Amino acid sequence: MSMATATHDADHDHGPAKGLKRWITTTNHKDIGTLYLVFALTMFFIGGAMAMVIRAELFQPGMQLVDPQFFNSMITVHALVMIFGAVMPAFTGLANWLIPMMIGAPDMALPRMNNLSFWILPFAFTLLLSTFFMEGGGPAGGWTLYPPLSLQMGEGFPFMIFAIHLAGISSIMGSINVIVTILNMRAPGMTLMKMPLFVWTWLITAYLLIATMPVLAGAVTMLLTDKFAGTSFFNAAGGGDPVMYQHIFWFFGHPEVYILILPAFGIISAIVPTFARKPLFGYSSMVYATTSIAFLSFIVWAHHMFTVGMPVVGELFFMYATMMIAVPTGVKVFNWVSTMWKGAMSFETPMLFAIGFIMMFTIGGFSGLMLAIAPADFQYHDTYFVVAHFHYVLVTGAIYSIMAATYYWLPKWTGKMYDERLGKIHFWVSTLSVNVLFFPQHFLGLAGMPRRIPDYSVQFADWNMVSSIGGFVFGASQLLFLWVVIKTVRGGKKATDRVWEGANGLEWTLSSPPPYHSFSEAPVIK
């Protein structure tokens, strides 16, 4: 603090304001990054609590705890909260913290908009969660909001739609900020092909967001006008078509799943070289692979709707296009493994999560390939196999990458080391339990258990109980994660500036924690 005071007159370098006002009015990328991450963590626990309700209800066949309508709203809001409230804000928080420090910029390009785009989020999710207290309860038609079912929601319907609008506006503004920052604010000498992969993957993610979020906004606006303004976009009686909603929704929805995973690829590409003590294998092929995945994500949407009655030509097109995505994704996994090959590896917690990511994300990728086979999908569609698939890519994929990133950069952010022993316990308990939680769901799905049901036939009882036990342990182990983070923030061993022996990149040249305003003078890029 004394240094900040000393330099105050010289260059008007203000430290943070005091108290609550700092967080409300801040335009500092580090503060806003922290806000995003804290918000995401809060939402992660709210969404996680809903998952606990779901697994508790499914612990045994029969109706146990909650009524079916409430169960359906749990599965719907669990998904909305986890996707739009936890994973996306967590990635935006990481982008805020890291992108300026990685490209040698003093801050994000549009700091005021940055503040606004964060502060919209608490309002959006208060709106969404408030629907539980309204006549008719929360949304219960599934997170995809297919009409006509979603239109049968109670009085909370417009609140839910506006919540989605707000969350969408927030992430569009966040993406604009990321794109402008990366394109205009790089330090001299930081060419595009020198950028860290986290910056690259976020640049592409931001483009996906600005291209698809407005389409989602359009789709939910059509739902809104169908319900209240007498339009018939999805109403067959007025000449509309409910299947068209699925096309429009998945035109957004498929790129969205890459929005949820591309930044994770960037994180893993930062962590693996550090702990393998080798440069990343195939940097430029990583960039091209990410770009190809982003492009392909726009032409595969109908693989979510193989069973709506498409002509064979359509099914074949979407099947082959989907399978093609396995090629650039395979390139990435190959490159990560090659980076580790013959490296001087050490297994600190971030590396454990990164390796866990690579293995379990690949399992999710393979079950995705199975689902891409149109005739097989007729069997798997809307079963627990799909649930197992997307939880492998989202929980052990996206969430694991966020955990890895937290352990990796937390010493940089706070200036203190986390408790390595607790971190490792967190990893092993999470990894064992998450597989007990989701792997049996493959068996349930292949045996024919449909998703989105509060009760099931008795032949599914055993694996559901196993899955629920895994779920409770996984849920509880995340409290350990919370404790590790709190413990680090409140005091831990002092971290060095470099933190990790093998770490490379501009953010490691700053002190730990970095000064409130970093890179006011652009760094020299070798």
Question: Is residue 211 close enough to count as binding another protein by CB under 8 A?
Answer: yes
Q: Say which of 171, 322, 339, 431 is annotated catalytic.
A: 171
In whole angstroms, how close is the CB of 152 to another protein at the nearest point? 10
Number of H helices, E strands in the chain: 19, 0
- Residue pointed to by tokens 């316990």: 425
- Residue 483 CB-half CA count within 13 A: 12
- How big is the chain, counted in residues? 526
Task: Looking at residues 143 to 172 of the shown chain, list those that interact with another protein (rule: CB under 8 A).
Answer: 172
Sign of CA dihedral 12, 13, 18, 22: positive
Q: Cβ of residue 356: shortest distance to another protein, in angstroms?
A: 36
Q: Which stretch binds another protein (CB under 8 A): 238-246, 267-275, 279-287, 398-406?
A: 238-246
Q: CA 484 to CA 268: how far, in whole Å?
A: 21
* Residue 451 annotated in active site: yes
> Which part of the chain contacts another protein (CB under 8 A), choosing from 59-67, 192-200, 215-223, 355-363?
215-223
Q: Is 195 in the site for another protein (CB under 8 A)?
A: no
Helix (H, G, I), strand (E, B) or coil at 465: helix
- Closest distance of CB 234 from another protein, Å: 10
- 188, 218, 279, 330: which one binds another protein (CB under 8 A): 218
- The whole-angstrom separation of Cα 451 and Cα 142 is 10
**Backbone dihedral region for residue 230 (phi beyond 0: left; psi -120 to 50: alpha; all else: beta):** left
Catalytic pick among 329, 339, 383, 512: 329
Q: Which of 38, 46, 134, 210 binds another protein (CB under 8 A)?
A: 210
CB nearer to another protein: pick between 248 and 363: 248
CA distances 43 to 355, 359, 481, Å, are 26, 26, 14
Q: Evaluate the CA torsion angle 12, 15, 18, 19 in order and state its sign.
A: positive
State the nearest-atom distance from the C-beta of 243 to another protein, in Å. Answer: 7
Q: How many residues interact with another protein (rule CB under 8 A)?
A: 38
Catalytic: 303? yes
User: Can 426 be counted among the known catalytic residues?
Assistant: no
Please tell me which residue in 30, 254, 426, 442 is annotated as part of the active site: 254
Q: Is 143 a catalytic residue?
A: yes
Does the protein bind another protein through residue 251 (CB under 8 A)? yes
Span interacting with another protein, options 7-15, 24-32, 84-92, 226-234, rule CB under 8 A: 226-234
If one asks whether residue 239 binds another protein (CB under 8 A), the answer comes out as yes
| Identified catalytic residue from 29, 57, 97, 143 | 143
Distances (CA, A) of 78 to 189, 220, 297, 375, 383: 44, 19, 24, 30, 18
Answer for which of 9, 12, 20, 184 binds another protein (CB under 8 A) is: 184
Of 304-312, 330-338, 347-355, 389-397, the segment contacting another protein by CB under 8 A is: 304-312
State both tokens at 152: 């049968």
Nearest partner of 216 among 171, 177, 184, 185, judged by Cα: 171
Residue from the set 217, 271, 325, 371 that interacts with another protein by CB under 8 A:
217
Query: Catalytic site residue 338?
Result: no
Give 175 or 396: the residue with its C-beta nearer to another protein. 175
Distances (CA, A) of 84 to 76, 376, 404: 12, 30, 20
Q: Is 375 in the site for another protein (CB under 8 A)?
A: no
Q: How far is the CB of 206 from another protein (least distance, A)?
A: 9
Distance in Å, CB of 250 to another protein, minimum: 11
Going from the C-alpha of 89 to that of each of 28, 32, 43, 119, 519, the distances in angstroms are 17, 11, 9, 11, 25
Closer residue to another protein, CB minimum distance, 306 or 418:
306
How many Å from the N-terminal Cα to the C-terminal Cα in the chain?
Answer: 32
Q: Residues 88, 140, 167, 179: which binds another protein (CB under 8 A)?
A: 179
Within a 13 Å sphere around the CA of 226, how many CA atoms are in the beta-carbon half? 28
For 183, 367, 374, 407, 418, the CA distances from 314, given in Å and listed in that order, are 38, 21, 10, 44, 51
Q: Per the residue annotation, which of 170, 322, 468, 488 is the catalytic one?
A: 170
Which has the closest alpha carbon to 505: 343, 339, 204, 270? Answer: 270
In whole angstroms, how close is the CB of 190 to another protein at the nearest point?
15
Q: How far is the CB of 211 from another protein (least distance, A)?
A: 5
- Nearest CB to another protein, comparing residues 311 and 375: 311
Structure tokens at 213: 């979020």
Q: Which residues contact 207 (CB under 8 A, 6 or more apart)?
A: 175, 179, 294
Catalytic annotation on 78?
Answer: yes
Which is closer to another protein, CB of 51 or CB of 164?
A: 164
Q: Which residues are catalytic?
A: 78, 107, 143, 170-171, 254, 256, 258, 269, 303-304, 329, 332, 451
Where along the sequence are the contacts to another protein (CB under 8 A)?
Answer: 109-110, 172, 175-176, 179-180, 183-185, 210-219, 222, 230, 232-233, 235-239, 241, 243-244, 247-248, 251, 309-311
